Chains A and B, each alone.
Chain A
Amino acid sequence: MAESSAAQRHQTFIGAGALLLGALLALGARNISSEAGYAGVGPNFLPWVVATVLLVCGAWLIWEARTGGWRQLEAPSGAAQGNWVALAWVSAGIAANAALITTAGFILSCTLCFMLAVRGLRGSEGKPHGGVRGLVIDFVTGFLIAAPAFWLFTQVLGINLPGLTGSGWL
């Protein structure tokens, strides 16, 4: 019973999230002009519809959560308890990449992202991260994916990605 009530509490949070999104959209919709022209409805019409529906859905999700939990729910795949440490490693990799890409350049920044993410994913499988040797292997693997990808997309396909130097190779 305790377990199902925890699930219901989480479901209530998600419902509240939808409710909050609906409320924010409604708040924003107040500032959108209603100038309608010939159509009778203006640019603020759809925003109000979306806001209203999300408010109703949010309320409904909360109601379902409070009355025995969401209906027709498929049990999620994977473990019952999340491995939050692993999630933190992977998220840190993506965030570091976002923060560094313009200064460190695509290749190095993505290699770092790869190293952090691979460490998290390996940890989630319960495998050791392999010490210094592991770090070197991860660096080389990441570099060998990021560098050719960078060259392919910038040199051949003409996509603009940031480099550390202006040479186009790093």
Chain B
Amino acid sequence: MDVWSQLLGGFATAATPINLLWAFMGCALGTAIGVLPGLGPAVTVAMLLPITAQVEPTASMIFFAGIYYGAMYGGSTTSILLNTPGETGTMVTALEGFKMAKSGRAGAALATSAIGSFVAGTIATVLVTLFAPFVAEHAVKLGPPEYFMIMLLAFTTVSAVLGKSTLRGITALFVGLAIGLVGLDQITAQVRYTGGVPEFMDGIEVVLIAVGLFAVGECLYTALYEGRSVKQMNRMGSVHMTRSEWKRSWPAWLRGTALGFPFGTIPAGGSEIPTFLSYGVERKLSKHPEEFGTTGAIEGVAGPEAANNAAVTATLVPLLTLGIPTSVTAAILLSALQNYGINAGPQLFQTSSTLVWALIASLYIGNVMLLVLNLPLVGLWVKLLKIPRPPLYAGILIFATIGVYGMRQSAFDLFLMLGVGLAGVLMRRFDFPTAPVIVGMILGPLAEAQMRNALSIGEGKWGVFVERPMSAALLAVVVAVLVVPRLMALRRGRALQP
């Protein structure tokens, strides 16, 4: 069957009233948490993981995906008006967007980011539609050695390349791997690191770690250190763009999409790198370089916003076709699928094709919903920024409780959540990245199983990883990712010396 008839089938599933309702709730909730400081898409999806016990998979995946990209729309609003990026992916938007808002052009900045997000999200969804089945078809040929190498690549990029310090990144990754070790070994059912506590037999829930590190950690950190930090808010203007602003935005949206999509599909940590790249490109190509960093240039908002949304949509390609998450939220979506006993991977397009195509169709629908939610209704969301911090963060704790307790009905987990939250405060204070912990704990057990299966294929010889061309090539990429930046830094260091 060809792609378009599959997609049509997907629309038929996604457009049922109940699924439309889920998509709408996801988009609305996503926008809200994107706007609100202190909550991101990853932790929101994590808090809502308990619903996987009741809600059917297609509906909940549509809901979660709506939260994921809705947060990207909402995050830009906060970046522009408050100069505090709601999400890491909208950090760059704050650079020019806040400047634009300061010089009275908040409306234009909000418009270009919402429309740019829509354009990029829709183009990226078309690319996912065309691209994902193709990748899935070829991914069937990958064996355990190749999978292990792809996962190794994901580990390397998330820990060693993205953060400022490789050492602290790797420490965080291995703490995550250690958490993933607790419970039953997947292959031999050997019990590991439970310390005799029966609660640990099933392993440690992702919800617990994600909510502890992000939501509780954030709340505790705010109480401890951020009490006196004051934020200034920009005034909002009317949301529209002039002709010349449209003309300047278009090419930036397209360039941003072209940059963002490929980065989302590879394990390079989501949307940070492409947004920064897009910002750099726009700054270089702009006919109005004098506006950058002074009054705010619209290209500097349009490009990164498009890149951000294209990258987020593109993360679905490796997630659905390979079962490899390339961002923290994608990792949590993967664990949502695991809760249903669905193995993401090339077979998913055969075994759960209804779910996959309904999910892809819902992206088209969701983008339209988000455009409506974020353009005419933007004033509504801005009101959320008026909520004072104390009740907001204390309220987040209530939802954290629902997520953690709702997963396993264990009060013991709530004590653990406090412990993880305190650890999160330390990690933030001492500049440890948190993403590797989550990726490590979710991907760790999968990577271990692939590695041991690969070694079984190779009859216990490690040579299996270099004898197969694809696996050897991936290994070379892993080594290059680790070594090349260091060599370049070394050369630059030498060149500076006389």
Contacts and interface: CB of A to CB of B under 8 A. Distances in A.
Given A47-B192, A125-B227, A125-B390, A70 B168 contact: yes
A170 interface: no
Given A41-B452, A95-B418, A126 B405 contact: no
Contact of B226 (A32, A79, A91): A79
A141 interface: yes
B164 A28 contact: no
Contacts of B187: 37, 39, 43
A70 to B, nearest CB: 7
Interface string B420-436: 01100010111100000
A57 interface: yes
B250 interface: no
B398 interface: yes
B409 A160 contact: yes
B55 interface: yes
A37 B458 CA distance: 12
Given A36-B460, A38-B459, A113-B397, A94 B167 contact: no
B181 interface: yes
A135 interface: no
Contacts of B422: 91
Contact of B175 (A10, A54, A162): A54
Contacts of A32: 190, 192
Interface string A21-45: 1000100100011011111111101
B contact face: mostly helix, strand, loop, or mixed? helix
B402 A79 contact: no
A83 B55 contact: no
A88 to B, nearest CB: 9
Interface in A61-77: 61, 64, 70-74, 76-77
B170 A121 contact: no
A4 B222 CA distance: 24
A32 to B, nearest CB: 6
A40 B497 CA distance: 49
Contacts of A142: 394, 398
B223 interface: yes
Contacts of A110: 397-398, 401
Contacts of A86: 223-224, 227
A39 B453 contact: yes
A94 B461 contact: no
A114 B190 contact: no
B389 interface: yes
A34 B178 CA distance: 18
Contacts of B455: 38-41
A144 to B, nearest CB: 10
A13 to B, nearest CB: 9
A157 interface: yes
B394 A121 contact: yes
A84 B221 CA distance: 10
Given A76-B429, A146-B398, A157 B225 contact: no
A106 B422 CA distance: 23
Nearest to B177: A50
B26 to A, nearest CB: 14
A145 interface: yes
A54 B448 CA distance: 17
Contacts of B170: 53, 57
Point out which of B188, B224, B452, B460 has the most chain A C-beta atoms below 10 A from its C-beta. B224
Size category of the B interface is: 35 or more
Interface residues of A, number: 79
Interface string A75-99: 0111100111011011101110111
Interface in B178-199: 178, 181, 185, 187-188, 190, 192-193, 195
B405 A161 contact: yes
B375 interface: no
Given A57-B167, A76-B428, A76-B431, A28 B390 contact: no
Given A50-B174, A98-B414, A99-B411, A126 B395 contact: no
A55 B453 CA distance: 27
Interface string A119-147: 01111111000000000000001100110
A91 B164 CA distance: 30
Interface in B381-421: 389-391, 393-395, 397-399, 401-402, 405-406, 409, 411-412, 414-415, 417-418, 421
Interface in A1-32: 10-11, 14, 18, 21, 25, 28, 32
Contact of A78 (B192, B229, B406): B229
B224 A117 contact: no
B238 interface: no
A46 B440 CA distance: 13
B229 A21 contact: no
Nearest to B186: A43
A82 B224 CA distance: 5
Given A54-B178, A78-B229, A73 B401 contact: no
A43 B189 CA distance: 9
A134 to B, nearest CB: 11
B418 A157 contact: no
A66 B41 CA distance: 38
Interface string B224-266: 1111110000000000000000000000000000000000000
Interface of B: 50-51, 53-55, 164-165, 167-168, 170-171, 174-175, 177-178, 181, 185, 187-188, 190, 192-193, 195, 216, 219-229, 389-391, 393-395, 397-399, 401-402, 405-406, 409, 411-412, 414-415, 417-418, 421-422, 426, 428-431, 444, 448, 451-453, 455-456, 459-461
11 contacts: A14-B426, A21-B178, A87-B223, A91-B422, A98-B417, A98-B418, A113-B394, A114-B394, A117-B390, A121-B223, A121-B227
Closest 5 CB pairs of A and B: A40-B460, A124-B227, A78-B225, A98-B414, A121-B390
Given A98-B412, A118-B390, 7 more contacts: A37-B188, A101-B405, A117-B397, A121-B219, A125-B389, A125-B390, A145-B395
